[in-house]
Amino acid sequence: MRSPAFSGGGPDALPEALIRTRLRTLIDAGVLKPGGLGCLWEWRCRQPHPCGGCGALIAKGEIEVEIITRGGVALILHRRCLELWEQEARTTPSATARPEPQRRRNLA
Protein backbone atom coordinates (compact mmCIF):
# COMPACT_ATOMS: atom_id res chain seq x y z
CA MET A 1 0.00 0.00 0.00
CA ARG A 2 1.38 3.40 -1.01
CA SER A 3 1.72 6.15 1.54
CA PRO A 4 -0.21 9.33 0.83
CA ALA A 5 1.60 12.06 -1.06
CA PHE A 6 2.96 14.84 1.07
CA SER A 7 1.66 18.26 0.12
CA GLY A 8 1.90 21.77 1.45
CA GLY A 9 4.51 22.76 3.94
CA GLY A 10 7.47 24.62 2.60
CA PRO A 11 9.66 27.10 4.38
CA ASP A 12 6.71 29.05 5.81
CA ALA A 13 5.48 25.94 7.65
CA LEU A 14 8.85 25.21 9.28
CA PRO A 15 10.41 27.20 12.13
CA GLU A 16 12.83 29.70 10.61
CA ALA A 17 15.46 28.76 13.20
CA LEU A 18 15.38 25.17 11.93
CA ILE A 19 15.89 26.27 8.33
CA ARG A 20 18.72 28.62 9.34
CA THR A 21 20.41 25.80 11.29
CA ARG A 22 20.21 23.51 8.27
CA LEU A 23 21.56 26.24 5.98
CA ARG A 24 24.32 27.07 8.48
CA THR A 25 25.37 23.39 8.44
CA LEU A 26 25.57 23.48 4.63
CA ILE A 27 27.55 26.75 4.73
CA ASP A 28 29.97 25.46 7.38
CA ALA A 29 30.47 22.24 5.39
CA GLY A 30 31.39 24.29 2.32
CA VAL A 31 28.40 23.11 0.27
CA LEU A 32 26.78 26.56 0.22
CA LYS A 33 29.62 29.00 0.19
CA PRO A 34 29.21 32.64 1.16
CA GLY A 35 29.26 34.60 -2.06
CA GLY A 36 29.33 31.33 -3.96
CA LEU A 37 26.25 31.82 -6.11
CA GLY A 38 27.09 31.05 -9.71
CA CYS A 39 24.03 30.68 -11.97
CA LEU A 40 20.40 31.03 -10.99
CA TRP A 41 17.16 30.09 -12.73
CA GLU A 42 13.61 30.48 -11.46
CA TRP A 43 10.41 28.81 -12.66
CA ARG A 44 7.27 27.00 -11.51
CA CYS A 45 7.78 23.50 -10.18
CA ARG A 46 6.43 20.81 -12.50
CA GLN A 47 6.89 17.84 -10.20
CA PRO A 48 7.06 17.92 -6.38
CA HIS A 49 10.48 17.31 -4.83
CA PRO A 50 12.37 18.30 -1.66
CA CYS A 51 14.04 21.68 -1.25
CA GLY A 52 17.84 21.52 -0.91
CA GLY A 53 17.67 24.19 1.80
CA CYS A 54 14.89 23.30 4.21
CA GLY A 55 14.15 19.74 3.08
CA ALA A 56 10.40 20.42 2.79
CA LEU A 57 8.50 19.66 -0.37
CA ILE A 58 8.44 22.16 -3.22
CA ALA A 59 4.89 21.64 -4.45
CA LYS A 60 3.80 21.55 -8.07
CA GLY A 61 3.12 25.10 -9.23
CA GLU A 62 5.30 26.78 -6.58
CA ILE A 63 8.19 29.00 -7.64
CA GLU A 64 11.49 27.16 -7.28
CA VAL A 65 15.00 28.45 -7.76
CA GLU A 66 17.74 26.29 -9.24
CA ILE A 67 21.24 27.41 -8.46
CA ILE A 68 24.62 26.13 -9.49
CA THR A 69 27.24 27.39 -7.08
CA ARG A 70 30.66 28.50 -8.21
CA GLY A 71 31.86 25.26 -6.65
CA GLY A 72 29.68 23.28 -9.06
CA VAL A 73 26.97 22.23 -6.59
CA ALA A 74 23.45 22.22 -8.10
CA LEU A 75 20.53 22.81 -5.73
CA ILE A 76 16.84 23.52 -6.08
CA LEU A 77 15.44 25.74 -3.36
CA HIS A 78 12.34 27.60 -2.31
CA ARG A 79 12.77 31.30 -3.00
CA ARG A 80 12.55 31.94 0.76
CA CYS A 81 15.34 29.43 1.46
CA LEU A 82 17.58 31.25 -1.03
CA GLU A 83 16.87 34.51 0.83
CA LEU A 84 17.71 32.89 4.18
CA TRP A 85 20.95 31.46 2.71
CA GLU A 86 21.93 34.96 1.64
CA GLN A 87 21.23 36.29 5.15
CA GLU A 88 23.12 33.46 6.85
CA ALA A 89 26.07 33.82 4.48
CA ARG A 90 26.34 37.52 5.36
CA THR A 91 26.68 36.63 9.05
CA THR A 92 29.49 34.13 8.43
CA PRO A 93 32.58 35.29 10.34
CA SER A 94 35.56 35.67 8.06
CA ALA A 95 37.47 33.16 10.19
CA THR A 96 35.02 30.37 9.32
CA ALA A 97 34.09 31.49 5.82
CA ARG A 98 35.46 29.48 2.96
CA PRO A 99 35.83 32.06 0.25
CA GLU A 100 35.96 31.20 -3.41
CA PRO A 101 39.42 31.42 -4.95
CA GLN A 102 39.89 34.84 -6.49
CA ARG A 103 40.34 34.96 -10.23
CA ARG A 104 41.73 38.10 -11.70
CA ARG A 105 40.42 39.34 -14.99
CA ASN A 106 41.98 41.97 -17.13
CA LEU A 107 39.17 44.39 -17.90
CA ALA A 108 41.30 46.66 -20.10
Q: Give per-residue pLDDT as tens, 53-95.
A: 888 999 999 999 998 877 788 889 999 998 888 888 888 664 3
Which DSSP letter does residue 14 get? S
List of residues 6+ apart from 78 with CB closer than 8 A: 10, 11, 51, 53, 54, 56, 58, 62, 63, 64, 65
- Give the model's pLDDT for residue 66: 92
Q: Which of 28, 40, 29, 31 is nearest to 82 (CA)?
A: 40
What's this model's pTM, rounded to 2 decimal places?
Answer: 0.68
- Give the model's pLDDT for residue 78: 92
Q: Which of 73, 88, 79, 71 is nearest to 45 (CA)?
A: 79
CB burial of residue 1 (10 Å; 0-12, 13-18, 19+): exposed
Q: Domain ranges for the chain, please list them.
A: 16-90
Which pLDDT band holds residue 103 (cuts at 50, 70, 90)? very low
Are 54 and 22 in contact by the 8 Å Cβ rule? The answer is yes
